Amino acid sequence: MLSLAIDTATPTLVIGVARHDSVECAPGAVEVLAEVQLEDCRKHNEELIPQVHKVLANAGVEFADIDQIVVGCGPGPFTGLRVGMASAQALAHALRIPLKGVCTLDAIAGATGASLVATDARRREIYWARYRDGQRVEGPEVSAPDTVSGEETLISVPDALSEKLAATGPRTNANPSTAFLVCAPEIAVQPLYLRRPDAKLPGSA
């Protein structure tokens, strides 16, 4: 089957097309036909659909060939995450194909083998989750980085936040990738905002 993967939960926009045998797959059995990762992407709403078309063209497939769409449900900042999930839902509805939700942190943990995965939540906070033997055992949560402690075998954390994180252990900095998004455990297709959006109604409303 062919899957179109979309993730906008981190500053890196990830879009890819992969071929695999079944819904439940192992990353090593996934053939990534095309993928784009736009780092520090601040225009998810402008870039996403053009990049989807580009990835499909590079993979040599059309929308009609896609069997399912996989979308990262976060946790992530409100605007970027909303753009990715709304676009994935619209595409799945238009194509009349299944939509699979996954936790972005699960995909990063799968790709790195990290026991602690942290991403930038802004407001001087991080989104994080802990893993044992590849399974999520704690989180996802949103916290100040200096409150997330413990000794870890490997930590995936953005370089800019590494020194602020209280947890100890070797560090890496990774993004979710197409193969690990496709093979991550399925969750409900609901955004993991973990906190209220920045925008607020005026007091007079």
Domains located in the chain, CATH noted: 2-103+175-187 (3.30.420.40), 113-172 (no CATH)
Contact 118, 156 (CB under 8 A): yes
Q: What is the pLDDT of residues 128-171, one digit of tens each?
A: 999 999 999 999 999 999 999 999 999 999 999 999 999 999 99
Contact 118, 127 (CB under 8 A): yes
Tokens 């413990």, residue located: 150
- The region that residue 113 occupies, defined by phi over 0 for left and psi between -120 and 50 for alpha, beta otherwise, is left
Burial degree of 1 (CB within 10 A; 0-12, 13-18, 19+)? middle
Which segments within the chain are labelled E, that is strand? Answer: 2-7, 13-19, 31-38, 68-72, 99-102, 116-122, 125-132, 135-143, 155-156, 171-172, 186-187
Bridge pairing between strands 31-38 and 13-19: antiparallel
CA–CA dist 105, 134 (Å, integer): 11
Q: Which residues contact 166 (CB under 8 A, 6 or more apart)?
A: 145, 146, 147, 148, 149
Helix axes 78-95, 44-59, angle to 10 degrees: 40
Q: What is the pLDDT of residues 112-134, one digit of tens each?
A: 999 999 999 999 999 999 999 99
Contact 176, 104 (CB under 8 A): yes
The pLDDT of 180-197, averaged and rounded, is 90
Position 104 confidence tier, pLDDT thresholds 50, 70, 90: very high
Average predicted confidence (pLDDT) for the chain? 93
What global pTM score does this model have? Answer: 0.92
CA–CA dist 35, 5 (Å, integer): 9
Structure tokens at 145: 């980085």
Structure tokens at 192: 């993991």
Position 201 confidence tier, pLDDT thresholds 50, 70, 90: very low
